[in-house]
Chains A and B, each alone.
Chain A
Amino acid sequence: MATQTQIPVEDQRAPVIEPGHTFSTIGEKVSNIVLKRPISLGWVFGFLVMFSLMNMLLFALGYLFLKGTGIWGITIPIGWGFAIINFVWWIGIGHAGTLISAILCLLRQSWRNSINRFAEAMTLFAVACAGVFPLVHTGRPWLAYWMFPYPNTMNYWPQFRSPLIWDVFAVSTYFTISLVFWFVGLIPDLASLRDRAESPFTRGIYGILAMGWRGSARHWHRYETAYLLLAGLATPLVLSVHTVVSFDFAISIIPGWHTTIFPPYFVAGAIYSGFAMVLCLAIPIRAIYGLEDFITPRHLENSGKVMLATGLIVAYGYGIEAFMGWYSGNKFDSFLLWNRLHGPYAFWYWSLLATNIFIPQLLWMKKFRTSTFWLWVISLIVLAGMWLERFIIIVVSLHRDFLNSSWGMYYPTKWDWMTYIGTIGMFLTAMWLFVRILPMVSIAELRTLLPEAHVEEAEEVER
């Protein structure tokens, strides 16, 4: 505290973009990563590792389609297991991108401009990974289209009163809107790449993707309106997605699930893990690709602060769950609390408290928020913690419900692990390709941050 009061906060903040850049150096620096930089051995090696992990996923899924979900550790009473844990974990990670792009855009946080592109890409890949799980968990994924309402010869329709159908709509809308939001942001930068590309082939590819964007003032005007409206639409959407995911639990009557705190607590947890993933990827990428000028310590520190704030909301959620277990006087709720603290999964509950609540408190100290090493380590710990949170919510609540005769234990099999680790491979494969194919920092938006970009309306506007 003493050190904080003697330093004026304004002077200490790192800039959003390092001084000395011009319109063309920004374009050059960002587009050269895609257009000029040779492919390094490290990139190839990393790509091969991630690509093999992704193939492990395909193998695990192939075997799953052959044998059915019996190859997983799910049984009755724990019918949800890894599939839903990983679904919720990935979809939570996928929250940071749209939060950064939409909510921070509406709040005019200019520091978002250098990390939004990259975070949105991360969102898309994370939501794609999330989508794998409910799909394969249905057991017969080739019939998954039955979840969508369409007139069919079976004369059957989905049940719109079910949270599982709400989830289908929420997640597919979220993916679609995140995709178009990301693409709209990319259009001007694709035009930049088109104009910079030297070979006719790359020029052609980026030219097709840029769709003939030429930076006309009329186009920019409509573009900015559309972007702002998309941000406004995506803001309630991003908050709704994890709310709806939490309804999958909260609408049921299982102790530990049937609670009204779930929606806000899930959303906070999602943003928490999303920012952890942003930091986890941004810290190595900015070092490898020399983007320290654009992703400055200010970005990292701000992300650390968001993690701290959302982590505290999550801590409050745990506190209320524990309090209600005791205060409600409901014997099933109080048993759940006892079972979490002392039951067979107690070790994991205490690990959850350590990784998600106690260790991230280090972020109160500026030393940890400004050290890339510590931020990276803490973000990995938070990612593990948020995974454990979903494990505790799903497995511990299900494994001992109302009837002792239906109690059981959950043991994930190697297929569960292969599928889970495989999706991490799929996510990172996509990230690996993304950093080399598309500009990972928004060139046009960074340019607007330069002082030269600001104009003064000297003359009166005649209409």
Chain B
Amino acid sequence: MSESSVYGLMAEFDSPQELLEAAHKTHGAGYKKLDAFSPFPIEGLADAIGFHKNMVPFVVLVGGIIGGLSGYLLQYYVAVITYPLNVGGRPYHSWPSFIIVTFEMTILFAGLSAVFGMLALNGLPQPYHPVFNVSEFAKASENKFFLVVFSTDPKYDASRTREFLKGLAPRAISEVPS
């Protein structure tokens, strides 16, 4: 199999602790393009594989601001500009009555940005992914923990990387066809 048709090397572990330690060691050994897979979130694992740039909070902030502004401006436009109704001489720009819709729109836009932003940043929905080619990977949603070194990593070398991963004492190592 030529190297371009290989997605990476996958090592299988039995516990979250083993995976976390292996991830630290692999990243420490100079491998930068790697990923870890687990059935539930593990504290510190994203850090261990060198993932620090989380854009979700920013997306939510922008979504919330857009929602709040559009909610308020919509009401201003309706009540003051396009459809002013004089009810007992009260001001058109009666902002206290606009608070609730502004609040709800802020929450709505921020919440939807959180969900769709998270999915988009994660690249989901994704109909095909090479890791699923390894049959043991079905256990990644069950009780097994996986570490993958991508073949695109500059330090990747089919045999040397395999030797390195063996040193981490995994349960099994398999090649992931792309």
Chain A contact residues, CB within 8 Å of chain B: 22-24, 27, 149, 155-161, 165-166, 169-170, 173, 176-177, 180-181, 183-184, 188, 191-192, 194-196, 211-226, 229-230, 233-234, 236-237, 240, 244, 247, 444-445, 447-448, 452-459, 461-463
Contacts and interface: CB of A to CB of B under 8 A. Distances in A.
Contact of B122 (A194, A196, A219): A219
Contacts of B24: 459, 461-462
B107 interface: yes
Contacts of A176: 108, 111-112
Contacts, number: 214
B43 A180 contact: no
Tell me which of B82, B85, B103, B138 has the highest count of chain A C-beta atoms within 10 A of its own C-beta. B103
Given A229-B56, A457-B43, A461-B48, 10 more contacts: A160-B98, A170-B104, A173-B105, A177-B112, A192-B39, A217-B51, A233-B60, A234-B107, A455-B16, A463-B52
23 contacts: A157-B82, A157-B83, A160-B97, A161-B87, A166-B101, A166-B104, A181-B111, A196-B141, A213-B124, A214-B131, A217-B23, A217-B42, A218-B35, A219-B122, A220-B41, A221-B54, A226-B118, A240-B100, A444-B40, A447-B40, A455-B16, A455-B43, A459-B28
Contacts of A181: 111
B51 A177 contact: no
B78 A188 contact: no
Nearest to B55: A222
A167 to B, nearest CB: 9
Given A156-B83, A447-B40, A220 B108 contact: no
A230 B110 CA distance: 8
Contacts of A158: 78
A214 B37 contact: yes
Contacts of B69: none
Please provide the 3 A-B residue pairs with the shortest distance between their CB atoms, ordered closest to farther: A211-B125, A226-B118, A221-B46
Given A212-B126, A237-B107, A218 B46 contact: yes
Contacts of A458: 21
B152 to A, nearest CB: 15
A220 B141 CA distance: 12
A125 to B, nearest CB: 20
Contact of B141 (A215, A229, A236): A215
B contact residues, range: 35 or more
Tell me which of B27, B57, B122 has the highest count of chain A C-beta atoms within 10 A of its own C-beta. B122
Given A230-B114, A233-B114, A170 B143 contact: no
Nearest to A461: B47
A353 B45 CA distance: 54
Contacts of B60: 226, 229, 233
A218 B40 CA distance: 12
A382 B112 CA distance: 34
B44 interface: yes
A225 B111 contact: no
B151 interface: no
B141 A222 contact: no
Tell me which of B17, B27, B41, B64 has the highest count of chain A C-beta atoms within 10 A of its own C-beta. B41
A216 B20 CA distance: 13
Contacts of B79: 160-161
Tell me which of B21, B137, B141 has the highest count of chain A C-beta atoms within 10 A of its own C-beta. B141
B64 to A, nearest CB: 8
A226 B115 CA distance: 7
A161 B36 contact: no
Contacts of B143: 22-24, 27
A191 to B, nearest CB: 5
B17 A455 contact: yes
Contacts of B107: 173, 177, 233-234, 236-237, 240
Given A177-B107, A230-B114, A234-B111, A225 B97 contact: no
A169 B35 CA distance: 42
A51 B113 CA distance: 36
Tell me which of A214, A220, A226 has the highest count of chain B C-beta atoms within 10 A of its own C-beta. A226
Contacts of A192: 39, 141-142
Interface string B139-155: 11111000000000000
B15 interface: yes
